[in-house]
């Protein structure tokens, strides 16, 4: 589950400009290392707005697509809505210059100047050292994110 939503994501949802379902937006995940400022810039809008991205630089690293996305509504007692997805696997992730500090979920549109930031993830499992094995972001039962009524 996310630590925070970047400021523009909730606005896009509220305006109907973002479809989180599998058939909707092309959501992707990138990994950042210890020098990244991504976890302290919740007002950033695009990936290129992150002052220091410090994206993972180990062998075999590539940004990964979020897959099997679904939006689910829960009943009592929470009456919340959550985004679920398949776990994200970074296959055979090679050692980077620094530890992986967190992940960013973003809407892929092409260049980083057009890729809109959605979520910062820096919870359990981070930081970690890549070691050439698969690195997996496993979503908990709360899903990738939740919208909860006031």
8 A C-beta contact, residue 34 and residue 99: yes
pTM recorded for the entire structure: 0.92
Percent of the chain with pLDDT over 90: 63
User: What single DSSP character describes residue 39?
Assistant: G
- Output the pLDDT for position 80: 80
- pLDDT tens digits for range 66-89: 999 988 888 777 778 888 899 999
Query: CA-CA distance, 5 to 55, in Å (whole number)?
Result: 19
Whether the pLDDT of residue 1 is over 70: the answer is: no
- pLDDT tens digits for range 29-54: 999 999 999 999 999 999 999 999 99
């Amino acid at each position: 589950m996310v630590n925070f939503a970047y400021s523009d994501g909730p606005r896009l949802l509220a305006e109907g400009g973002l479809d989180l379902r599998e058939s909707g937006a092309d959501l992707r995940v990138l990994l950042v290392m210890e020098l990244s400022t991504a976890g302290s810039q919740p007002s950033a809008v695009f990936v290129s707005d992150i002052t220091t991205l410090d994206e993972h630089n180990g062998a075999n690293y590539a940004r990964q697509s979020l897959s099997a996305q679904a939006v689910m509504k829960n009943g009592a007692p929470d009456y919340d809505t959550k985004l679920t997805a398949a776990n994200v696997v970074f296959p055979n992730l090679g050692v980077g210059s620094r530890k992986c500090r967190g992940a960013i979920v973003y809407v892929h549109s092409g260049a980083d100047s057009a890729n809109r930031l959605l979520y910062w993830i820096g919870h359990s499992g981070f930081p970690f050292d890549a070691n050439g094995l698969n690195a997996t972001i496993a979503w908990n039962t709360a899903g990738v994110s939740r919208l909860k009524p006031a």
